[in-house]
Amino acid sequence: MAGKAKKRPAKMATRGLGAQAGGGDDGGARYAVVDIEGVRVYPGAGVSLPEAVRLATSLVMKAGVARIEPDGTLTSGRVDGAGAFVEV
C-alpha cells in the first residue's frame, strides 16, 4: 500500500471561451443560428455571440451566425479569428 498515488480532481478544458466572449461582442447584441438559406434554426429572441457559435458548430447540418437587428431582421455574417462578428 505504500507508494499508492493520491487521486487529483480532473481539470476541465476552458476551450478558449474567454477569448471568444471578449472579442467584439458588446453584450447587448443578440445573434441567431441560421441555415445556409438564412432561415433561423433555433427559435427565440437570440443568444450571445459565443453561444451562437457553439450552437452552430454543434449541428450536423451546415449553419452560420446572423445578428438580430432591432427591427427583427437578420444580418448574415461570420466570426473572425478574434471572435468578432463580421457582416458578409
Looking at the whole model, is its pTM more than 0.75?
A: no
Residue 68 has pLDDT above 80, yes or no: yes
74-79, strands of its sheet edge to edge = 30-35, 63-68, 74-79, 85-87
Phi/psi of residue 53, nearest 5 degrees: -65, -45
Rounded distance between C-alpha atoms, residue 39 and residue 1, angstroms: 62
pLDDT on residue 30 = 94
CB 77 within 8 A of CB 66: yes
